[in-house]
Amino acid sequence: SIAGQIEFWARVGRAALDNPDLPVTFVAESLASMAEPRDQAEPFVRRSRKG
């Protein structure tokens, strides 16, 4: 919905202002991923060994 989109981008804007060192695309993708249902989440798998 349009109202939902406005609310999402307002959250992105607030988070971007709170974290000016992060790219806006990272902030937006992070917030979008947090909104996904937990059962659709993929676990983090480390690719390299601790050196």
Closest CA to 8 of 30, 32, 24: 32
Q: Any idea where the domains of the chain sit in the sequence?
A: 2-35
Predicted model pTM: 0.64
For the beta carbon of residue 16, count every other beta carbon within 10 angstroms: 17
Give the pLDDT band (50/70/90) at residue 51. low
The pLDDT tens digits of the residues spanning 21-33 come to: 999 999 999 999 8
Measured distance between the N- and C-terminal CA atoms of the chain, rounded to whole angstroms: 47
Confidence of residue 17 (pLDDT cuts 50, 70, 90): very high
pLDDT value of residue 34: 85
